[in-house]
Amino acid sequence: MSINEQKRTNVNYITQGKLSWYYVERPSVNEVQYLADKFNFHPLDLDDVLSRVQRPKIDEYEDRVFMVLHFPVFDKEHHITRPTEIDIFVGENYVVTVNKSASFKQLSRLFQECLTIDKSRQKYMGKSSGFLLYSMLDRLVNYCFPILSKVTENIDDIEEIIFDKTVPKTVRQITLIRRDLISFRRIIRPQIAVIETLEKEEYPFFREDQEIYFGDVADHYRKIWDGLEDCKEVVDGLAETSNWLTSHRIQEIMSILTIVMALLAPATLIASVFGMNIPLPGGINRGSPIPLVVITSTMFIIALGMFAYLRHRHWI
């Protein structure tokens, strides 16, 4: 059964036997005050519930644990994976979950499933608070795999077009995926330590084999992290390849421009010489060849000096 505890609060709960699951979405001061009155949680933990951003962590007490966890949500508008925070209090006879984002529906769907389906409520809440916590984490971490698969598909698409598309478009796509990977890695990495703590520590009020259940969740996190590491290596390789292709294309362009300049150089030289305002042999105003010899010699000496300087610097 689900009950809204008070009209002024947004706290709902389900009870199965001795175990109750309290679900809060987008908490305000009223909801936090309700939790403080009912459960006597530590004020610093309640401050973390109200604060906007907290790093993943786990606080341990004699009769409960408090966890701050982040899960990925893909922002389609900005093409980046962003974290959504979920705070969880776990005691012997209760689990309190605080979902800070209304857009993250995975936890609320599990709550509604337990609310409306007796079989699901018995399955997830019929054992202990530790098993309910495991079921939540297992459902939430499995949600990460489709996001990771989408990142992998985007990388595969870039591998196919990197040699065909224009450089600016490819560079932009690589940059977007690299930014998405960085954000995704920031979400997953800190949580591995939190889940490993659940796996290794002993909490009598869980009444479950923590090493088996939370070890399974930790393995999923490690698998996701390994996938992100592989994606990072591939993206770094694609970025290096893109840079090499860019450099190669610039060299091709410079080669073409050099050939064009070499073809135009003789005509430019002849036009420049006969365009000078002095009498030249073969010109309209014929004169002595001495000015032409002096100018040509000066050009040759300057060119020879530049050639010698470049050889001295080992540039040619």
Q: Where are the strands (E) in 76-200, listed by range?
A: 80-91, 94-99
Name the β-bridge partners of 64: 91
Residue 281 scores a pLDDT above 70: no
CATH of the domain at 37: 3.30.460.20
Residue with tokens 């399974």: 216
Residue range 285-295, pLDDT digits in tens: 666 677 667 77
Q: How far are the Cα atoms of 31, 43, 106, 293 from residue 84, in angstroms, in the given order? A: 19, 22, 11, 81
In a domain, 33, yes or no: yes
One domain, residues 143 and 289 = no
Most confident stretch, 103-107, 214-218, 238-242? 214-218
One domain, residues 300 and 239 = no
Q: Where are the strands (E) in 62-134, listed by range?
A: 64-75, 80-91, 94-99
In a domain, 292, yes or no: yes
Residue 247: strand, helix, or coil: helix
One domain, residues 188 and 293 = no
Give me the number of domains the chain comprises: 2
Give the model's pLDDT for residue 264: 67
Give the model's pLDDT for residue 197: 87
Residue range 88-116, pLDDT digits in tens: 999 989 999 999 887 788 888 999 999 88
Percent of the chain with pLDDT over 90: 21
Residue range 38-78, pLDDT digits in tens: 898 899 999 999 887 778 999 988 888 999 999 988 887 77
In a domain, 258, yes or no: no
Instruction: Please state, in angstroms and rounded to a whole number, the distance separating the CA atoms of residues 30 and 136.
Output: 25
Q: Domain ends where: 247, 263, 285?
A: 247
One domain, residues 242 and 287 = no
Q: Which two tokens stand for residue 236?
A: 């770094």
Q: Which two tokens stand for residue 25?
A: 């979405």
> Average pLDDT over the chain, rounded to whole?
82
In a domain, 236, yes or no: yes
One domain, residues 34 and 84 = yes
One domain, residues 194 and 301 = no
One domain, residues 216 and 306 = no
In a domain, 266, yes or no: no
Which of these, 217, 253, 281, lies nearest to 69 by C-alpha position? 217
Residue 204 scores a pLDDT above 60: yes
Helix (H) or strand (E) holding 57: strand 57-60
One domain, residues 203 and 313 = no
Give the model's pLDDT for residue 136: 92
Residue 195 scores a pLDDT above 50: yes
Which of these, 127, 119, 100, lies nearest to 21 by C-alpha position? 127
One domain, residues 300 and 192 = no
Interacting residues of 26 by C-beta distance below 8 A, sequence separation 6+ = 10, 99, 100, 101, 102
Q: Which two tokens stand for residue 217?
A: 């969740």
One domain, residues 222 and 287 = no
Helix (H) or strand (E) holding 24: strand 19-25
Q: Which residue range forms the structural domain that includes residue 312?
A: 276-316
In a domain, 265, yes or no: no
In a domain, 263, yes or no: no
One domain, residues 292 and 231 = no
Give the model's pLDDT for residue 95: 93
In a domain, 215, yes or no: yes
Residue 67: strand, helix, or coil: strand
Q: Give backbone dihedrals phi and psi of 88, rounded to 5 degrees, phi first.
A: -135, 125
Q: Which two tokens stand for residue 34?
A: 């309700």
Q: Domain ends where: 227, 247, 267?
A: 247
Q: Domain ends where: 229, 247, 265?
A: 247
One domain, residues 287 and 162 = no
